[in-house]
Structure 1
């Protein structure tokens, strides 16, 4: 979610009053686009930003709910993704069921190059084959 956010540019925000961010003057009413893709790859924020290293989050205070601006896969504030609760609570259960119920084989080589648009997608989609595992009762009956 950090390296490959589904939406690289979050929904636009508007400055309600004049402010200054990192030395830049932002006039009132300016539309601001947050580049979550660039933040997730920023070497000033992340050590070895292009390395997939999930253990970096074990002792980290950063979470994906939009409270820490270095990690914004679901956006933040009133413009946060409406699917945040589904993503946090249910996707891991669906993934666990798929991994448990099927034997998986990749039919194409994994290529992580991205094709940019409103949402990020793989330039060359992964094609996988899923074969249903036999239930334990069937295996025991055959033995």
Structure 2
């Protein structure tokens, strides 16, 4: 998979958020999540390709890196496949398109917000996201 340019998927990702969130969620597509955090919130762990955030007034947001390189895509897929507990899902086949991959990232981060799940619940977030991931031959 080539580098994923996220912006062309914005409207679809925002539609997923409207469909599955119980409240408004801002989707922020940024070049560098670590830099965004450092400028606004202090530091964050590493430089993830996606991150759920809660504003001071309790507003929900999802940060998504504007470009996701193939190594990051592969690393995320491997983590899900290895630790996700999705024996019934071929992770690599299911997330073979950029659209499916970024959709899963956004739904995964929404799972953190929607369920108030910490980072320790990564596998639960993956399962929640896969349950809501649109299935289409075009994904």
TM-score by length of 2: 0.24
In proportion to residue count, which structure has more helix? 2
State the TM-score, normalized to the length of structure 1: 0.23
- Which structure: larger Rg? 1
